[in-house]
Structure 1
Amino acid sequence: MNDLSHIGRAAFAPANTADIADAIVAASGLRVDGERRRGRGAGLNPAGRFEPTSRVEIDDGWQSLEDLPPFATEVQVEKPRTAITRNESPDIPFDRSINPYRGCEHGCIYCFARPTHSYMGLSAGLDFEARLFAKPDAPKLLERELAKPGYRPRTIAIGTNTDPYQPIEKEWRIMRQILEVLSKANHPVAIVTKSAMIMRDIDILGELAAKGLARVSLSVTTLDRKLARTMEPRASTPTRRLEAIRALSEAGIPTAVLMAPVIPALNDHEIERVLDAAHAAGAREAGYVVLRLPFEVSPLFRDWLLQNYPDRYRHVMSLVRSMRGGKDYDAEFGKRMKGAGPYAWQISRRFELAVKRLGMTRRIIQLRDDLFVPPNGSGVQLSLL
């Protein structure tokens, strides 16, 4: 491993088609060998932005890089103090959420949650997909929080950061246990996922939905199976996601389709097709989010784009920046989800017209909060008097 902190940008003057950052990536050897990252989304595993040094793998003649093991999924147990995370963001429709896992094996290259791995001293690249954290105590912690005196129920969002139905859920079943706690308490819940595994929990979700306590959004970014496999390597195929929409809808569970993200010149031409297919499967609500590239996500996405769609690189990034004030990303509230400018307006208008034509709605169904019954308080400290 070599420290690259002394290397100047002048040594990597970019060619006509690449940005400086792309030239540095290509010249420094930060890209991980394809065999080691087979089935993963990111091609890089750079140090997080809080780390003092950046290191790369080089073949020094003593051990070949071909002998290094592939990036296998590793799961560590995380012991949080609370299960519910709260926010005051003005442009998202919930003030509390639960994340059963940190990191996500789906490996979506565009995932805006990737930078959160930097807080763990890990990379937003391959580490985010392979070095995961599970929170098996989350259901018990949730029960304690719901039982606290003065707790006021409002819809809990799950799947807003990392997917609760990523592959490791099949073994850990943390999401299933969380739903059981919420069901017993008659607590409203809204779920976002791109996994067909959610069909496993239709029994619980159906009971909640019958009381007006549950809704689900399936993220369908493309109907192109090849693009999906490249962009979201370990997520369910588009066909399976549509099957999940149909199964949930037939079970009486309010189900929406979420096209997130819309990527200019890559999947934006599919807006109408995705909505048509989702509507045919039973979705009656629809929403979208324009591509977001915060912090480490930007170089990861640009490297992926350069490797997989080099002919579209300049066009895609030009349109992305046209919606972000000339930058890769603008985090300003009110703009970060939809973008700004003519191209962002065009996407919005196309979406609105397609939704209107299909008789769908962009209005989020409000869930009930008047049926809440606090748990019995197991594990809650009793008052002295």
Structure 2
Amino acid sequence: MNPKLNIKGRGAQKNTPNRFFELSHEVRDDFLEYCQKEGELVNKTKTQYLNVFPKTIVNKVTSPDVGMSYSMNMYQGCEHGCIYCYARNSHEFWGYSAGLDFERKILVKKDAPKLLETLLKKKSWKAKPIVMSGNTDCYQPAEKQFKITRQCLKVFLKYKHPVAIITKNALILRDLDILKALAKDNLIAVNVSITSLSEDTRRILEPRTTTIKKRLLVVKKLSENGIPVNVMLAPIIPSINSHEILPMAKAVSEAGALSIAHTIVRLNGAIGEIFTDWIKKTLPDRADKVLHQIESCHGGTLNESRYGVRMRGEGQIAQQINDLVLLARLKYFKNKIMPTLNRSLYEPNKNDQLKLF
């Protein structure tokens, strides 16, 4: 492929058809050639922010493979553009593509803080950790403008309710003041995603994310301020970052992380087509090797959906990856443990809040 036709600064290089739509369109080669000759852009890459108004913001998680009971997402779609992101498929529910649309059409839920507080004020609600970014990163670039995540953290602090965060953006350090206040009562845990120690790998896998150096700094700063950090070495992709498991574990442990978790990449739904297109354009010399190794971890398919197997995989390569992570835990996290979040303060604090009205 002519590099001039690459969509720079984005992970996906195409818009896949939406499975819920009867009709679809394709970009023809003669149109691509015309754009190249005329010096015109094939795709408009500017990010759009679109306001949406859901009735609720907290979702119950029913999957047995995910270590959370409730999640909330302030944004749908994610400008980070991680090529492997499992959340891409959810964009189809909103009428968009899991490809480029996922990265450049960001749905913004400005009412999230209000909806969260409405939930926490309910007499029937019992304290259970709610994970921000169960689907898309709550500290993606949109947060710098809208500050919805910061507002939600203030609500959690007000009601002394436990909360966890998953992110790969250094913007989280902006909210260190609130995180420290939550940590005083053991109400916060942070999961930082680190998939490589190589900037070259990071740039192609996660084009609009913060640098690895800054992510390690996030782990260090949070840990120094008493905020417990788990690092997500996820996903592990054979022949791309699988050789980095031990070095990554060592680096994050030295930065102060208390634990690590991992998954083996799975390319469900439209992500299989998006990833295959991307790797053949980005890493053509090893594309087939990587795809076949991913398939070998998932019963010969890219699209893995079996509970209990989909996150850890099966077969020789998957076993090697899982064994390396186990070794990393024994070597670098032997005397470390993530604390259990405090649920005891919410109920009396909620009652005190209600007495004010």
TM over 0.5: yes
CA distance in 2, matches of 1:149, 1:218: 33
Q: Which amino acid aligns with 2:111?
A: D
- Among 40, 48, 53, the alignment partner of 1:67 is 40
Instruction: State the number of aligned residues.
Output: 348
Aligned to 2:15: 45
Distance 1:123 1:366, change over 3 A: same
SS in 1 for 2:232: strand
Structure 2 residue 182 is matched with structure 1 residue 208: yes
Query: CA offset at residue 273 of structure 1?
Result: 0.8
Structure 2 residue 54 is matched with structure 1 residue 80: yes
CA distance in 1, matches of 2:335, 2:18: 40
Structure 1, unmatched stretches of 5+, are: 1-25
Deviates more, 1:263-272 or 1:82-91: 82-91
Distance 1:250 1:356, change over 3 A: same
Check the 8 A contact 2:253/2:333 in 1, yes or no. no
Of Structure 1 and Structure 2, the greater helix share is in 2
The Cα RMSD (Å) is 2.2
Bigger CA radius of gyration: 1
Query: CA offset at residue 365 of structure 1?
Result: 3.1
Check the 8 A contact 1:32/1:45 in 2, yes or no. no
- Among 347, 350, 355, the alignment partner of 1:374 is 350
Aligned to 2:290: 316
Query: CA offset at residue 355 of structure 1?
Result: 1.4
Check the 8 A contact 1:32/1:43 in 2, yes or no. no
SS in 2 for 1:199: helix
CA distance in 2, matches of 1:177, 1:348: 38
1:273-284 equivalent positions in 2, closer than 5 A: 273-284=247-258
CA distance in 2, matches of 1:90, 1:96: 12
CA distance in 2, matches of 1:225, 1:80: 37
Aligned to 2:161: 187
Q: Which amino acid aligns with 1:184?
A: K
* TM-score normalised by the chain length of structure 1: 0.86
Aligned to 1:346: 320
Check the 8 A contact 1:42/1:107 in 2, yes or no. yes
Aligned to 1:305: 279
Deviations 1:123-157 (A, max 9, x none): 11110000110101000010011101111110001
Check the 8 A contact 1:258/1:288 in 2, yes or no. yes
Query: CA offset at residue 364 of structure 1?
Result: 4.8
- Among 206, 224, 230, the alignment partner of 1:250 is 224
Deviations 1:234-261 (A, max 9, x none): 0011111001000100011001111110
Query: CA offset at residue 341 of structure 1?
Result: 1.7
CA distance in 1, matches of 2:12, 2:336: 32
Aligned to 1:34: 5
Structure 2, unmatched stretches of 5+, are: none
Distance 1:139 1:361, change over 3 A: farther
Q: Which amino acid aligns with 1:67?
A: E
Query: CA offset at residue 182 of structure 1?
Result: 0.3
Check the 8 A contact 1:143/1:377 in 2, yes or no. no
Aligned to 2:262: 288
Structure 2 residue 118 is matched with structure 1 residue 118: no
Sequence identity (%): 39
Distance 1:332 1:60, change over 3 A: closer
Q: Which amino acid aligns with 1:331?
A: S
CA distance in 2, matches of 1:361, 1:335: 28
Query: CA offset at residue 46 of structure 1?
Result: 2.0
- Among 73, 90, 97, the alignment partner of 2:64 is 90
